[in-house]
Structure 1
Amino acid sequence: MRMELIYLFGSIISTFLTTLLLSLLLPFRLLLRRRNHSHSHFLSLYEGTVWHERRRPVHHSFTYSVRYALFDLDSASASLQNHLSADEARRVAGTTGPVFLLSIPESVGYEQNPLSLYYCYDLEDSAQNLNNCIAEVTNTPWGERVTFVFNPKSDLVAKPLHVSPFMDMFGNWNIKASVPGDNLSVAISVQHPTLGNYFTATLRAKKVSLSSVSDQSLYFWLMPHKVAVWIYWHAVKLWWKNVSFIQHPRYSNPAYREEATLRDQKLRCCCVSGFDDLQHIQAEPNGTNSRARSFTWRNAKWPWS
């Protein structure tokens, strides 16, 4: 634990120095870029609000403004590091049409994306239908990631990742996402066996005209840093409100990923009616949603591993 804390403070200082240096160089980079100015036809820009509300065991809520980019991954110019390509996303989602990625781009050497979404369309006759999405969830500060397919109209997913040290692994994510157009929205609520529907997070955003943005580097300047600050600041607030700190399950339950997969299989094939006293899912055969879901995890880096 001591090594992890030292690493955390060291990474914060390193990120601060890198951000400061690249921010000082940013005006010169902008001047060079404007000499070879070209419009980015492979992305759309969005601006909106993220809202979080925790209702139990204490009430805690906050909002902050956020900016996102929606990338057309089929464009050769939209190749992004640390994310799936269009072909990889189609293979994972089992779709045949275009793929778009909603994400916060890197800014002055730093990237922070608690949730990125892939919108995977199917080609049906002459129409494009959004049949599947891929969620890419990353936790802070560990940097672990889980990727899975969900139905954007509404889906229930067994929690597969330790996202917050103030939430245990007993719960399901109810997730839905609208088709991105002039507006987009994403909503996630947590259904817990003892706390009930105790947490909700939403993103609501509107498309921004590219002509109103002078440069994308300025548009997203310090946006990932702002998200990280909100994560750490509200973690401190929850600790101050005496919300129990929960250690990463890899220390107490190394098989938590396998258990999440089994719980999700029950959700997919059965009609869930609740939980029993041992926090096991109570379910009855359904057969209407029997397709298996696959979770793909990326491990934490040293020293979190």
Structure 2
Amino acid sequence: MTARLAYTTIDHVRHTPVRHRFRYRSYSWLVDLDDLPRLPRPLRPLARFRADDHLGDPDRSLRENIDTFLDAHGIELPGGRILMLTSARVLGFVFNPLTLYWCRDRTGTPVCVVAEVHNTYRGRHRYLLRTDEHDRAEIGKQFYVSPFNDVSGRYRMALPEPDDRLRLSITLHRDHPVLTASMTGECRPATTRAILAAALTMPLAPLAVAARIRVQGLRLWLRGLPVVPRTVSPIEEPSR
């Protein structure tokens, strides 16, 4: 498989206690961890994939770190493919609210999905997800992400592995839906022309995402949504 760019529309809807919605366009990379893209030297500042931008040992590869995480949960994928959806480091900056890893065994059978979440406080956490035949999974929230939500409730996710289309959604539930985030779009080969076009039309995409999150947080605060004090769980790992 060759690397692809996923041209995305990200939609956030807060259902309660105030109704708030925002939408923006961006792009992500869809890559095989055993076949990371080798960009021409002039393009490398526009897309770098570094182990220390994710959880695990920064001196090991992305593949080795995911294998180690899976092994800790009793899962082995010798020869199996791991497909990663993430934002690359662009001109030295990276911010990944969510990185997804679709894991298959050597026969190509889907085994699990790993969701790696980063918050704006430089904390990181991974969820191991066992999706059903409809590519859906549910898991309790364990990690503080938003200053307007405590660590309670359950995530309900739809995470089909991308093909030419990307169709993902995550909803935080308590007694009712609290927040829904979706990512949809098209996946196309990461050609030199496509990489340059993405960098020109959506410059510094990771920085723009981080800025949008903070701006929307400020808007919610100005609307009177109370801030929930941050709790740091023992499972949370800081960025290096």
**Corresponding residue for 2:162?**
180
Q: What is the DSSP-based 3-state SS (H/G/I as helix, E as strand, rest coil) of the residue aligned with 1:233?
A: helix
Task: Give distance in 1, aligned partners of 2:239 and 2:36.
Answer: 30
2:194 partner amino acid: V
Distance 1:151 1:114 in 2: 21
Question: Which amino acid counterpart does residue 144 of structure 1 have in structure 2?
Answer: G
Provide the residue aligned with 2:115 in structure 1: 135
Residue number in structure 1 paired with 2:83 = 100
Secondary structure, counterpart of 1:135 in structure 2: strand
Q: Please, which runs of 5 or more residues in structure 2 have no aligned partner? A: 39-48, 57-61
Q: Output the CA distance in 1 between the equivalents of 2:159 and 2:66.
A: 17
Give the equivalent residue in structure 1 for 2:178: 198
The one-letter code matched in structure 1 to 2:5 is L
2:106 counterpart SS class: strand
Q: 1: CA distance between counterparts of 2:168 and 2:136?
A: 10
How many residues are aligned here?
Answer: 212
Cα distance in 2, alignment partners of residues 188 and 80 from structure 1: 26
TM-score (norm 1): 0.64
Match for residue 238 of structure 2?
299
Say which is worse superposed, 211-220 or 228-237, in terms of deviation: 211-220
Q: Percent identity?
A: 24
SS state at 1:48 partner: strand
Change (3 A) 1:243 1:120: same
Question: Given residue 69 of structure 2, which amino acid in structure 1 is its aligned partner?
Answer: V
Answer yes or no: is 1:70 the counterpart of 2:30.
yes
Post-superposition shift, 1:221?
3.1
User: Which residue, 111, 118, 127 being the options, matches 2:101?
Assistant: 118
- Check whether the contact 1:151–1:176 (CA below 8 A) recurs between aligned residues: no
Find the residue that maps to 1:202 and give its secondary structure.
Answer: strand
CA–CA distance in structure 1, aligned partners of residues 91 and 36 of structure 2:
23
Measured against aligned partners, the alpha-carbon deviations of 1:184-238 in whole angstroms (never above 9, x if no partner) come to 2221101114xx2121001112112434415388366310011011101100110
- Normalized against structure 2, the TM-score is what? 0.80
Compared CA separation, residues 134 and 106, structure 1 to 2 (3 A) = same
Letter in 1 for 2:114: I
Name the structure 2 match of 1:267. Answer: none
8 Å contact from structure 1 (residues 53, 62) kept in 2: yes
Structure holding more helix per residue: 1
Contact 2:27/2:198 (8 A) holds in 1: no
Q: In structure 1, how many angstroms separate the alpha carbons of the residues matched to 2:99 and 2:110?
A: 16
Cross-structure match for 2:127: 148
Letter in structure 1 aligned against 2:161: V
**TM-fit CA distance, 1:81:** 2.3
In 2, distance between residues paired with 1:202 and 1:224? 17
Assess if the C-alpha contact under 8 Å between 2:93 and 2:207 holds in 1. Answer: yes
Q: How does 1:269-280 map to 2 (within 5 A)?
A: none
Structure with larger Rg: 1
C-alpha distance 230-213 of structure 1, shift in aligned 2 (>3 A)? same
* Partner-residue secondary structure (3-state), 1:92: helix
Taking only aligned residues, the RMSD between alpha carbons, in angstroms, comes to 2.3
